[in-house]
Amino acid sequence: MVRSHKELLIRYSINQGMHWFSMGIVIPVMILALMDLGFNIGQVGIAMAVMGTTVLVLELPTGGLSDTLGRKRVYIIAVVFYIAGYSLILAAGTFIILLAAVILAGTGRALSSGSIDAWFVDEHKRLGGDDRQLQKDLAAAGVVIPAALGAGTLAGGIIPDISGTIRTNIVVLILLYIIQIFLTVVVIKESRDGFSKNIAAGFQNFPHVLGSAMKFGIRQRNVFAVLMATGALGIGLSGLEQLWQPHVRNISPETGTWILGLLAAGYFVSAAAGNAISSRILKLTGNRYVPVMVSFRLLMGVFYILLSFTSTTGSFAPIYFILFFTHGITESPEMTVFNRNIPSDKRSSLLSLNSLFLQAGGAAGAVVAGQIALKANIPAAWMLSGGLLALSAFAYLLIREPANEDKI
C-alpha cells in the first residue's frame, strides 16, 4: 500500500514516464516504418485512420472497465494489447494483417487511457490530499511525463541511425512494454476494494457504470465545462499537429529533418516547463483556478494565431514553444477541477470521456483544418483554429469554484 504523497508521485511518474518514453520511440518514425515494411502512403493513411477510429469507439467503454475491474488490471491488459499489436505490425505481410495489428494497438491505447491516472487520484484522495496538493503533484508529473516523451522521441530518431533500420524502433518498443508489465506489477499498488474480483462479474456491471458516468458528465456543470474546453482543444491542436511540419518545410525548404526532431522534442519540453511553473502562478492568484485557466487558454489562442504569420523557422520556433508552454500551465489546474468534481466509482469512465472529447475534437479538427489548408493555405487554417481556442477559454467561466477548495 502507498504510504505517502511523495511515494505515490514517484510510483505514478515511474509508470507513466516509462509508458510515454516507450511510445516516444516510434513517434518520429512510425509512418516511415510502415512504408519500410512495404505499405504505400495510401495504405498507411487508412491504417492510421483505423487505429484512430478504434481508439475513438472504445475510449469510453474501456474506461468503464477500469471502474469495474480495477485500474491496474485493465492497464496491464492494455499493455498486452500494445505488445500484440506492434508484434503483428512487424509480421504484417498483407494489408489485412496490418489493419488487424492497428486495431489491436488502438484497443491497447483505449484501455490504457485514464486507468493509471484514475488510480493516482484515488490514492491521492485515500491519503487525504487536498486540491492544492493534487494540483502540485499533477504539475510535477506533468514535468516528468512530457520530458520522458521528449526523451523517447529523441531516442527514436537516433536508433535507426545506429541500427541501420527503422524497424528496430518497433522491436525496442515491444521490449520496453514487456518490461513495463513487470514494472507495473511492482510499482502500482491497488486495493481490490470497490472492484469486481471476478472478471465476468465486472463485465456484467460495466454497462451500468458506463451509462451512469455519461449522464453525470453531461449534467454536472463543472465537468461539462471542462469537457467543452477539451473538445475545443482537440479541434485546435489537431490542425497544428497535422500541419506544422509542412508549414516549416514551406517556409524553410532547406530545413533538415534533425530540425524537425528538435522542434518536436521542444514541444514536449515546453509543455513540461509550463507544468513546472503552474503551481507558482496559481499561488500568485490565491489558488483561483478559473482565472488562470481562462487567461492562459486565451494566450494560447493568441499565440496560435501569431503562428500563422511566421515566415522563417527562427520566428516559428519561439512562438511554437510559447504556445505549448501556455498549454502546460493550464493542464494541472484543469485536471484538478475535473477530478474534484467526479466520484471515485466513475473516475476512470469520466477521464476516458474527457479523452473521448479530445479525440473527437481532434478528428473533426483534422478534417476541417486539412480542407482549409488545401483550399486556402495553412495560415488560414491556423487562424481559424487559434480563434476557436481563444473562444474556448470562456467555457471555463461556467465553472463554480467552491468556497473551500481543500478537498477533492
Show the cell assigned to 148. 520522458
Q: What does the pLDDT read at residue 406?
A: 46
pTM: 0.74
* Helix and strand element counts for the chain (H, E): 15, 0
Q: What is the pLDDT of residues 202-255, one digit of tens each?
A: 455 556 556 776 788 788 899 999 999 999 998 888 888 777 877 887 888 776
What are the CB-based long-range contacts (under 8 Å, 24+) for 364-367?
Answer: 364/234, 364/235, 364/238, 365/234, 365/235, 365/236, 365/237, 365/238, 365/239, 366/238, 366/239, 366/242
Q: What does the pLDDT read at residue 155?
A: 86
Query: How far, CA to CA in Å, does 241 sit from each of 14, 132, 197, 272?
Result: 27, 32, 41, 18
- Rounded distance, CA 1 to CA 262, Å? 40
Q: Is residue 3 classed as helix, strand or coil in its secondary structure? A: coil
Which of 196-210, 249-263, 313-327, 367-381 has the highest mean predicted lDDT (pLDDT)? 313-327
Q: What does the pLDDT read at residue 145?
A: 87
Q: If pLDDT is split at 50, 70 and 90, which confidence band does 387 have?
A: very high
Q: Is residue 236 classed as helix, strand or coil in its secondary structure? A: helix
Residue 357 has pLDDT above 70, yes or no: yes
- Rounded distance, CA 20 to CA 334, Å? 21
Percent of the chain with pLDDT over 90: 36
Residue type, 23: M
Residue 198 has pLDDT above 60, yes or no: no
- Rounded distance, CA 213 to CA 355, Å? 14
Q: What is the pLDDT of residues 138-167, one digit of tens each?
A: 888 888 888 898 888 888 878 887 888 888
Q: What does the pLDDT read at residue 193?
A: 57
Give the mean pLDDT of 281-286: 88
Which of 109-113, 364-368, 379-383 has the highest mean predicted lDDT (pLDDT)? 379-383
Give the mean pLDDT of 177-195: 84
Q: Taking the CB of residue 151, how many other CB atoms lie within 10 A of it?
A: 18
Which of 237-241, 279-283, 309-313, 322-326 has the highest mean predicted lDDT (pLDDT)? 322-326
- Rounded distance, CA 310 to CA 83, Å? 41
Q: How far apart are the first and last CA of the chain?
A: 20
User: Which of 323, 341, 330, 332 lies closest to 292, judged by CA?
Assistant: 330
DSSP string, 193-214: TTS-SSHHHHHHHHHHHHHHHH
Average per-residue pLDDT for the chain:
84
Q: What does the pLDDT read at residue 258?
A: 66
